[in-house]
Amino acid sequence: MASTSSASIPHTYDVFLSFRGEGTRYSFTDHLYEALCKAGIPLSEMTMKSKKLVSEELWLILEQKRTAAHFVLPVFYGVEPSDVRNQRGSFTMEAKEGDEASKWTQDNVKRWKAALREVAELKGMVVSGYATISLYK
């Protein structure tokens, strides 16, 4: 008697959670982290970053999307994608002088702003509270 088995090809995920501000660290981000772990999805990093580092990582993630066809699903918590796209409020960025100037150059800021516009144009999710999740695009 022959036995057939359906061998499944394991999926490999590289999930990067990035957040700014203590306001999301012990609420939304922890819940998302726990849900992804329970689903068996390994996470590569979960750290609090500065705006500069998050902006650079976002640009690198989108570069991987362009060059290696990676799937990117943005999840906006407590912010509207249009604020990200148009760099309003806490998303306002400008080049800096002095000690910060090494990374906050005109070229980097221009690249980071383009990354914010690009990620806000992707299909994704907006989360505004415990049970309020909406898809956009």
Residues catalogued as catalytic: 57
- Asked if residues 81 and 126 have their Cβ atoms less than 8 Å apart, the reply is yes
Q: Are residues 72 and 121 in the same domain?
A: yes
- Asked if residues 91 and 51 have their Cβ atoms less than 8 Å apart, the reply is no
Strand pairing class (133-136; 75-77): unpaired
Report CA 111 to chain centroid distance, whole Å: 16
Q: Are residues 56 and 109 in the same domain?
A: yes
Q: Are residues 36 and 99 in the same domain?
A: no
Residues 6+ apart with CB under 8 A from 39: none
Q: Is residue 2 part of a domain?
A: no
More confident residue, 103 or 117: 117
Q: Are residues 67 and 131 in the same domain?
A: yes
pTM across the whole model: 0.70
The identity of residue 67, as a single letter, is T
Residue-wise pLDDT for 111-121, tens only, equals 999 999 999 99
Residue-wise pLDDT for 18-48, tens only, equals 666 666 666 777 788 888 888 887 776 555 5
